[in-house]
Chain A
Amino acid sequence: MLLEVRDLHVEFHTRDGVAKAVNGVNYSVDSGETLAVLGESGSGKSVTAQAIMGILDMPPGKISGGEILFQGQDLLKLKEEERRKVRGAKMAMIFQDALSSLNPVLSVGEQLGEMFVVHKGMSKKDARAQAVELMDRVRIPAAKERVGQYPHQFSGGMRQRIMIAMALALEPELIIADEPTTALDVTVQAQVMDLLAELQREYNMGLILITHDLGVVADVADNIAVMYAGRIVEKAPVHEIYKAPAHPYTRGLLDSIPRLDQKGQELYAIKGLPPNLLAIPPGCAFNPRCPMAQDVCRTDVPPLYEVTESPAPRSSACHFWKECLHG
């Protein structure tokens, strides 16, 4: 297994109290696999990713428990210096907003080349040549001429390609993409997602795709982990989950999005609001919004049950997953 997150807990100490952002997350990714982490804002999907990358702001953040095993080694036990050697070389991250992730006063060539200078000790000239090659690889036209240009001279889609190039520079084994196409227009989004999927196949990388878009997930993912209030509520292969969700939250999400290919009736709406992380409801965090909630849901936190009826490994954190699967 390339990456395994075990029972990860992250909390933030704020003026108003302790916000429990991640409450016992378990997931794993293998080489060549795409795992989509799906969730709404505040579900803990990005915080988990930041903890994996080791870029969580601490304080106010604090990893209060768990392990992050990368190729069998617990990253949380490494010294910062050793961690830095992993970051960039072995695992890399692509952020949502390419414009604010790139340095506006350095040319893209310098920023791409920096990776080779710092990690591989190359000369500036060699690094620049490598940068051109990288830009070619992510299909930026006229790479040779554009290597000296600055981020503002590129369009949104091209900037995201530069981010992808930067992530790929040292041929990492794992890429974490946090909402990589959310800021892009649909036609450009399709280009960028295709590129990412192709490069992943070519290098046989593991990919963690963090998103809230059920459409993007269906297009590229192998497996899905759905997060709610800092926990994984359902984990399944992508084909299974769309066919029959085993958690009422997943079902609600799928039912609440309008379809492109049919007009449809009134949309199903999940009632209520996402929970306040300072005061997560007792029992199942989803119970105040759940149409299936019973007394047991208000008192007992559901474990991640194995969905035994599925041919592929699959799990759901719902006491009534069976009813949900068949309902």
Chain B
Amino acid sequence: MADLSKNDEAVAAALDVPVQRGEPILQVRNLQKHFPLTQGILFKKQVGAVKAVDGVSFDLYQGETLGIVGESGCGKSTVAKLLMNLERATAGEVFYKGQDITKLSGRALKAVRRNIQMVFQDPYTSLNPRMTVGDIIGETFDIHPEVAPKGERRRKVQELLDVVGLNPEYINRYPHQFSGGQRQRIGIARGLALNPEIIICDEPVSALDVSVQAQVINLMEKLQDEFNLSYIFIAHDLSIVRHISDRVGVMYLGKLAEIGTDSEIYDHPTHPYTQALLSAVPVPDPQARANRDRIILTGDVPSPANPPSGCRFRTRCWKAQEKCSTEMPVLAIPERFRGQDTLAAHESACHFAEERDVVHAS
């Protein structure tokens, strides 16, 4: 046991070393999460599994924002929980500074969590209504006392409130005394409290009104520059994701369908699902509505407990052929674009990847 804790100490120390800009800070490899489906009350036996995340790989670089988009049930929030190790991965690895955090526990895991923080979707349910703002933000220092000594905590919390654009005098107020946008700022202040390197934002603005959304997005961008943060920005709103992200990954039914820079995904999508998703977004421009390239998908997303064989999108895809049901497409640069100097040459998991600009079509 003594050996193990010494090992933890060493790991924790290694995690304190900063990563240079432009280097991967997080490497996710073949990450999987299967939730068991059981039958019976006394003698539970597993009859299947919901494959919420089923083989996801990506890198996150220091100082960048990686957007993850997808419809409800595609597994994007489960990915967030796996990265925080709030859920134990069924298989796969998440390397943070060379350490596989899915295998960590104890002090080493605590050290990781100090550097990877989270901002949640709903600012109404993610703040304890019986705690003051000072206690909500200050609680993080109880768990990680090394960040701020006891005497300094109040001042530190006030500093954080100031950083996120709230009046530091509000420190003794309760969450119900704030509006939705202000609450999300409190959530962000809590996420920042431990000077993390990575913040995972799970739908951080979708509960907010349009006029307040822009304020919070601008704040997040400002903080990123100021503190050199890396964001994983999970959302279903494709316009907001484009605005804030350097790179974007599109998820469908537990897998990444396509990943690339914002221009590669939005201006040169090659996966049919990305194209359908983009074409379905209502654009605030009535001039464009008559001659837009709309792809209306039929049907609903299949159940992740029983996903289609081969390509998961084939049941709703207009290009699907025999090959799609037998062979699972891998996420890679499609062969036809390989080595070419085109923005279509990015990773896409489709046998028949083809460029189609659905956003600008007119």
What is A's interface to B at a CB cutoff of 8 Å? 40-41, 155-158, 185-191, 193-194, 212-219, 238-239, 242, 252-254, 256-261, 263-264, 266-271, 273-274
Contacts and interface: CB of A to CB of B under 8 A. Distances in A.
Contact of B284 (A40, A217, A268, A270): A217
B206 to A, nearest CB: 10
B283 interface: yes
A261 B211 contact: no
B286 interface: yes
Contact of A239 (B218, B238, B286, B300): B286
A168 to B, nearest CB: 20
B303 to A, nearest CB: 10
B360 A270 contact: no
Contacts of A156: 72
28 contacts: A185-B236, A186-B238, A186-B280, A186-B281, A187-B297, A189-B282, A190-B294, A194-B296, A215-B239, A215-B284, A217-B282, A218-B282, A218-B283, A218-B289, A242-B284, A242-B286, A253-B210, A256-B213, A256-B214, A257-B210, A257-B239, A258-B242, A259-B239, A261-B360, A267-B214, A267-B243, A269-B218, A270-B215
B243 A155 contact: no
Given A239-B286, A263-B242, 18 more contacts: A185-B72, A186-B277, A188-B300, A189-B280, A189-B282, A190-B279, A190-B294, A191-B298, A213-B282, A215-B283, A218-B282, A219-B282, A219-B286, A253-B211, A256-B210, A258-B243, A270-B214, A274-B211
A323 B24 CA distance: 50
Interface size class of B (residues with CB under 8 A): 35 or more
Interface string B263-287: 1001000000000111111111111
Contacts of B278: 260
Nearest to B243: A258
B359 interface: yes
B37 interface: no
Contact of B266 (A185, A213, A260): A260
Contacts of B287: 239, 242
A269 B296 CA distance: 33
Contacts of B294: 190
Contact of B239 (A158, A254, A260, A268): A260
A137 to B, nearest CB: 17
Interface in B206-246: 209-215, 217-218, 221, 236, 238-240, 242-244
A261 B283 contact: yes
Nearest to A271: B215
Given A40-B211, A258-B239, A266-B221, A216 B282 contact: yes
Given A187-B276, A190-B296, A263-B263, A212 B209 contact: yes
Contact of A261 (B221, B244, B266): B266
Contact of A252 (B211, B296, B359, B360): B211
Contacts of A239: 286-287
A202 to B, nearest CB: 18
B78 to A, nearest CB: 17
The residue among A261, A267, A268 with the most chain B CB atoms within 10 A of its own CB is A261
B100 interface: no
Contacts of A257: 210, 213-214, 239, 284
A36 to B, nearest CB: 11
Contact of A218 (B211, B213, B217, B285): B285
B179 interface: yes
B222 to A, nearest CB: 9
A252 B276 CA distance: 30
B325 to A, nearest CB: 21
Contacts of A274: 179, 209, 211-212
Given A256-B213, A256-B214, A191 B286 contact: no
Nearest to A43: B209
B262 interface: yes
Contacts of A214: 210, 284
Contacts of A219: 282-283, 286, 289
B71 interface: yes
Contact of B281 (A40, A158, A212, A215): A215
A258 B280 CA distance: 16
